[in-house]
A and B are shown apart, each in its own frame.
Chain A
């Protein structure tokens, strides 16, 4: 199995631009998680899905952030408009059942200038 796939690996954009991060979970996994990693706050859960349905988005920082999961093999995290404080590494993870270990992708390093 290829593991969790994220794209792009690096994204540099200017303030005010729209940014879309992509994730392909491990086949057969029914939970998908989006995290943000910063030095100050570590790994923060932004949102998670179960069977493509958003279950908890209380970690999404603002309305500028949105996430979708149109099918079991694809999810996006969108920031519109982006701001410099959104600069971080964004991870996608998937698991089989919400109670088991999560498998993380390699992350997308986002820099907003």
Chain B
């Protein structure tokens, strides 16, 4: 059973608009959440993170929102750029074991 779910396998957005990528989780022991970006033939690279004691973290065009009561987090990219086209993975850390659980990824395509 997937403890971290990314229910949208793909997303297309027009350049300049907002991209919203969603992630749901089931384990209440998760205490730290991260987003990774992955280009073809490369390993994932860290993008942004958020601790469970916060509900928002912003870094330039990227903002992550955490709704603990709904066990939901989202990544907002504003404005979206063609170079943002990649697969985005959501990951969560189990505060008890310190293991990271990844979702299946969402492929974002930003159209010029």
Residue numbers of A with Cβ under 8 A of B are: 4, 33, 35, 39-45, 48, 56, 91, 93, 98-99, 101-107
Contact = CB atoms under 8 A, between A and B. Distances in A.
Interface of B: 2, 6, 32, 34, 36, 41-46, 49, 89, 91, 93, 97-105
A43 B49 contact: no
B98 A91 contact: no
Given A42-B103, A42-B104, A45-B101, A91 B43 contact: yes
A41 B104 contact: yes
Contacts of A107: 41-43
A41 B104 CA distance: 6
Contacts of B102: 35, 42-45
30 contacts: A4-B43, A33-B100, A35-B102, A39-B104, A40-B104, A41-B2, A42-B103, A42-B105, A43-B44, A43-B89, A43-B91, A43-B102, A45-B99, A45-B100, A45-B101, A45-B102, A56-B97, A56-B99, A91-B43, A91-B44, A99-B32, A99-B93, A101-B34, A102-B46, A104-B43, A104-B45, A105-B43, A106-B41, A106-B42, A107-B43
